[in-house]
Structure 1
Amino acid sequence: MYKFSFAVAVLLLNIGLLKAQPNPAIISWLQNTTTTGYYYMSGNPTPISHGILVNCQQVRYSANWVYVNATGIPSYNIGPYLDGNPNQAGNQNAIFRIPLNPTENTGAKTPTSGGNIGIFVNGVAMFDYRDGVAWNTTTNSFCGGPGNPPCPGGMAATQAWNRDAVVYERLGFDCSKGHPAGTNYHHHQNPSAFDLDLNVISNICNLYDADGLYAINPAQHSPLIGFAYDGFPVYGAYGYANIDGTGGIVRIKSGYQLRNITLRTHHADGTDVADGPAVSSTYPLGTFREDYEWVSHPNDPSYLDIHNGRFCVTPEYPNGTYCYFATVDNNHNSAYPYLVGPTYYGNKTASRVTAVNEPTTVYSPLSISENILPDLNIKIFPNPASDLVIIRAGGLNNQDIELQLFDIKGRLLQQTKMNKGQSICYFDVQSLYAGTYIIKLYNGVHTISHKVIIEK
């Protein structure tokens, strides 16, 4: 009853305030028409320009839809993919149509599927848990995906036991936890760099510097990082403890947990299915999506529902909305079901389209007025430094920021740029003398300064 009442209240408030505040599904996209990106090739630690525009190039909207033109390429460096993946991310030249007024699916919920299940605010594709590989219960071996025979019926998704991409494709994820399917670069999980996790489970960032869409900041509500294909927003890993926006900031937790099983004979709902492999060191719990069960936590609103979402207040939706979260565990490692799923809460109406066939208004980002640079929680480290100074933004950077390094006399020594959708940049200070230096960040209107010490 409470959930129904809250949903109705949210709907009425949003209808009443529709004209009073801009729709986040229109204004949250990271737009760019000038900056191109970089990628790494295996064995070469120097990023290479691919000449493709990054982020989103145009946003248009009508009464019911927003249309986003995007290349599918992020502004952070991508690659390499150390699992032998022969593909490189390419320009998707896509138009995504997202509903502005998403609605709950009151019938049978639609399962997420292989390929795009949503879009991040930088235009990069959002995938679900799967890697296209399943268990062939006839041959007792994997089927589908590269290097395996086809599954019976031709589709891995029709099988009883479906493999988890976040577990089995880890070697093939770049530092930003992404990789390409064909040329379609995508994330199955929280798009924050491996080396920012509290327990680092991949050394790829040691070899090829990169960052990610945002940096997890446990002290702040995570940013809105994308929209699912039912139109509801997707947030990062942290949010308000209570659905009304109170209780402080906490990690928002998946309601799924590994089942207490040793044999794979039934699904969590009790359905008798063809047997999968017994739980072992070769096929440990977590190998398959069906190894998980959802458990209700009625007394703790920081746990999510069976779709990996909840109704709640967020900074962008002060009157509340249904939203998903990119779930992580207490070490900030990705936690199943990672983003959205295994079913959508709402009606899946978004899609990739080839043209816009209705009158629309072009949305141009507003000029910068409020100084949000302090809110980026800029960290400069190490400080003191000797070889390299790293500048990292906490949360999601939605502005292009110029960075300048000055000596104590005010002479400009170096400059670089942190593009929107990036969270890290560097100054090489190996050739500088020991002393005090100033780093200035400028977003076109506002400036903040930080002092850094160079020691030799």
Structure 2
Amino acid sequence: MALLTLNINKENTSMRYTAIYRALIALGLSLDFIGYSAQVFAAGSSPPAVTAWVVNKNGVTGSSPDATLNSLAVQIPANVSSVSSTASKVYIQTSGVPSYPTGPFPGNPAYASNIQAIYGIPLNPQPNLSNTLTEVGLGAIGVFVNGVAIFSYADAFSYQNQGVWHQDANVFEGQSFDTAPGHPAPLRNATTAVSGYLPGEYHHHQSPTSLREELGDDGTHHSPILGFAVDGYPIYGPYGYANPNGSGGLVRIKSSYSLRNMNDRTSLADGTVLPASEDGPSIASVALGSYAEDYVYVKDSGHLDEHNGRFTVTPDYPNGTYAYFTTVDANGKGVFPYFLGPTYYGVVATQSSTAIPDHAAPQAGGSGNGAGALLPHH
């Protein structure tokens, strides 16, 4: 292999790392020239995608401060029930219900039911080098380490159902969140109510404060892995190293999305002027920040790229990995785009897993602490 010599400042921004990383991958090269290599682990050790999970080993169930919801929750085993893996994927079997309390969900017709989900997460994630990136879309875009679904910033609606101004679920659905904060989405084709509630898939659209409390993610150390996106890359909490090479101390990681400077909703962030029929509601009537299109990506204005991630060293990946980050403000409140941007960084399989292959090897998983006590952290 020919020697590639580049003059690169390690303090470069994450967008430059991302561009270089993609270019080198396309050439079949590594990132060793800047002290990084992609997801390399010691012989005999298991990658974080195998060991990070909170496995229920003591029979803990869901719970709720609401008596009716609690009567349903206590029948459901909490967190991840099993972890198994092949050479290419780790398979997570989960009820989708956490060990921390859920509900009540004001105005929501659903409860956090046992969805009996199986997630297949790639063990060797690959960046998407094509010209067509995969949109995050609706539904689960990943899974938290406790088996709860990760949803994007979007809900299923847009202004006047035109598909132009897409609602931020944290704004339009926030009143139905519990204190975690999360809520259930009624399962597709669910028509039979149980104790007055429809079965639903519990999920978070923004920083899962109850999970972060369980994991000890309080800003005194690098955030732990909170989950994995369906493209296989880890999603960290909001605290990381100031510089991708691990230097600069701990900081709150900031996205590169910000509110647009506009007085009306008559154009998009790329300058496209909309026909009058596609104009959004006035900002006087619906506050700025209520729609995804109210935001603009400004390269290098934060720590993260347009996918809300960067290539970086972390305690779990001392040789570096691409990773998404949970974004919050100075008060700990989730801020756009919360987990992932509009598109995935990596290649996403066309079909999600519905069964665990017979040749998948059982794994111990992570802490095994199904009771929700503080887990070991970095």
Report the count of equivalent residues.
333
Q: How far is the alpha carbon of 1:399 from its aligned partner?
A: 5.5
Structure-1 separation of matches of 2:308 and 2:82: 30
> Relative contact order (C-alpha < 8 Å, sep 6+): which is higher?
2
Is 2:282 the partner of 1:283? Answer: no
CA distance 1:169–1:296, change in 2 (3 Å): same
Aligned AA (2:111): Q
Q: Is the 8 A contact 1:37 1:52 kept in 2?
A: yes
TM-score (norm 1): 0.68
Structure-2 separation of matches of 1:311 and 1:70: 29
Q: Residue deviations 1:253-303, cap 9 Å, x none?
A: 0111000011111110112332111211x21100100000011227xxx61
Using the TM superposition, name which of 51-60 and 268-277 deviates more: 268-277
Q: Is the 8 A contact 2:39 2:321 kept in 1?
A: no
Q: How far is the alpha carbon of 1:40 from its aligned partner?
A: 3.1
The structure 1 residue matched to 2:119, chosen from 96, 103, 110, is 96
> Kindly, what percent of the aligned residue pairs are identical?
41
The structure 2 residue matched to 1:293, chosen from 289, 293, 296, is 296
Structure number with greater Rg is 1
2:312 maps to what in 1?
A: 312
Q: Which runs of 5+ in 1 are unaligned?
A: 137-150, 153-158, 194-209, 367-397, 401-418, 425-442, 444-456
Q: Is the 8 A contact 1:55 1:122 kept in 2?
A: yes
The structure 1 residue matched to 2:205, chosen from 178, 188, 196, is 188
More strand by share: 1
1:370 maps to what in 2?
A: none
1:407 maps to what in 2?
A: none
DSSP 3-state at the match of 1:171: helix
CA distance 1:283–1:16, change in 2 (3 Å): closer
Is 2:134 the partner of 1:110? Answer: yes
Q: How far is the alpha carbon of 1:20 from its aligned partner?
A: 5.1
Aligned AA (2:291): F
Structure-2 separation of matches of 1:283 and 1:47: 36
Is 2:169 the partner of 1:171? Answer: no
Q: How far is the alpha carbon of 1:352 from its aligned partner?
A: 3.8
Aligned AA (1:321): T
Is 2:39 the partner of 1:38? Answer: no
Structure-1 separation of matches of 2:181 and 2:86: 34
CA distance 1:239–1:351, change in 2 (3 Å): farther
Structure-2 separation of matches of 1:125 and 1:350: 18
Q: Which runs of 5+ in 2 are unaligned?
A: 1-7, 9-15, 25-29, 187-199
CA distance 1:351–1:219, change in 2 (3 Å): farther
CA distance 1:365–1:121, change in 2 (3 Å): closer
Structure-2 separation of matches of 1:46 and 1:110: 37
Q: Is the 8 A contact 1:264 1:279 kept in 2?
A: yes
2:356 maps to what in 1?
A: 356
Structure-1 separation of matches of 2:86 and 2:368: 25
1:143 maps to what in 2?
A: none
| Equivalent residues in 2 for 1:11-410, closer than 5 Å | 13-14=37-38, 17=41, 19=43, 21-33=45-57, 34-41=59-66, 48=71, 49-82=73-106, 84-107=107-130, 108-136=132-160, 151=161, 159-182=163-186, 183-193=200-210, 213-273=214-274, 274-280=278-284, 282-297=285-300, 303-349=303-349, 352-357=352-357, 359-365=359-365, 398=367, 400=369
Aligned AA (1:337): P
Q: Residue deviations 1:330-376, cap 9 Å, x none?
A: 1111010001121111111285422223511110247xxxxxxxxxx
TM-score (norm 2): 0.81
Q: How far is the alpha carbon of 1:130 from its aligned partner?
A: 1.1
Q: How far is the alpha carbon of 1:13 from its aligned partner?
A: 3.1
Give me the CA root mean square deviation: 2.5
Q: Is the 8 A contact 1:76 1:211 kept in 2?
A: no
